[in-house]
């Protein structure tokens, strides 16, 4: 009997991470959900099981190396292998003039959005090598390929994810590991709602930036991530896939 594939998803408690977990589960992939919030994480696990696959939750702070090590070890202990990873955990930045931004906010955003991706790959890749290969998708953003005023730290963090992705992709390609990034535009998630909260003008601006005329739903980005992880994208490597409703083309 063929063994089911296994994926780790960081930031899998809501939004794009949750939608990707469900999408993969529908294709028979067992899922380990990693996040800091157990209640929401376990809710995602239930959705995974409802979709027909096995799931588990591991409480994880992606900025802590011991947490990431434990995440990968616990997932492998339960499922016996690691085929896919979606390094999706990230935090946003409130719009603030650069000169008014604080060092502790800089450290927090870079630690979660950049160090978290680096640590995740550091421990995921060896397990994938043991199994003969795998696929990783790192969460970037259109913020990784363009600028936006009053959000320089977040923008810098998403540019950095692309550098990590390209470098790691080149290093491990010959070992059968494909590493790519996804770069969404605005998506209807809790994070986007926090950024736009109390600022209807910003909401209108973000929507109008998308030539398609709307922001994305999490499931639309989940389908892109699922494709990048799947055997349908076996010649795609070190790539940043824009799922941005046309923002960058404009």
Rounded Cα distance between 47 and 166, Å, is: 32
- What stretches of 63-151 show up as alpha helix (H) in DSSP? 65-79, 103-110, 116-130
38-50 vs 15-25: helix crossing angle, rounded to 10: 30
Torsional class of 80: left (φ above 0), alpha (ψ -120 to 50), beta (otherwise)? left
CA angle (218 as vertex; 214, 221 as ends), nearest 5: 90
123 in catalytic set: no
Find the catalytic residue in 84, 123, 154, 172.
154
Task: Compute CA 188 distance to the chain's CA centroid, rounded to the nearest angstrom.
Answer: 15
Q: Which residues are catalytic?
A: 154
């Amino acid at each position: 009997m063929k063994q089911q594939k296994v994926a780790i998803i960081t930031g899998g408690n809501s939004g794009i991470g949750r939608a990707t977990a469900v999408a993969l589960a529908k294709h028979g992939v067992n899922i380990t959900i990693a996040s800091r919030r157990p209640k929401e994480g376990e809710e995602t696990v239930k959705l995974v099981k409802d979709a027909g696959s096995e799931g588990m939750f591991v409480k994880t702070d992606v900025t802590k190396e011991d947490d990431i090590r434990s995440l990968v070890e616990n997932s492998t202990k339960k499922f016996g292998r690691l085929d896919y990873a979606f390094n999706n955990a990230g935090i946003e930045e409130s719009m603030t003039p650069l000169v008014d931004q604080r060092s502790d906010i800089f450290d927090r955003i870079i630690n979660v959005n950049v160090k978290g991706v680096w640590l995740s790959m550091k421990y995921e890749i060896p397990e994938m090598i043991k199994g003969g290969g795998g696929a990783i998708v790192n969460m970037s953003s259109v913020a990784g390929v363009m600028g936006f005023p009053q959000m320089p730290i977040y923008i810098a963090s998403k540019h950095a994810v692309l550098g990590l992705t390209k470098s790691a992709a080149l290093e491990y390609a010959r070992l059968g590991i494909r590493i790519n990034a996804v770069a969404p535009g605005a998506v209807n998630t809790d994070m986007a709602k926090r950024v736009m909260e109390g600022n209807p003008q910003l909401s209108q601006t973000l929507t109008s930036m998308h030539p398609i005329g709307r922001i994305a739903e999490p499931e639309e980005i989940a389908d892109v991530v699922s494709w990048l992880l799947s055997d349908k994208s076996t010649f795609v490597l070190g790539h940043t896939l824009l799922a941005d409703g046309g923002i960058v083309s404009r």
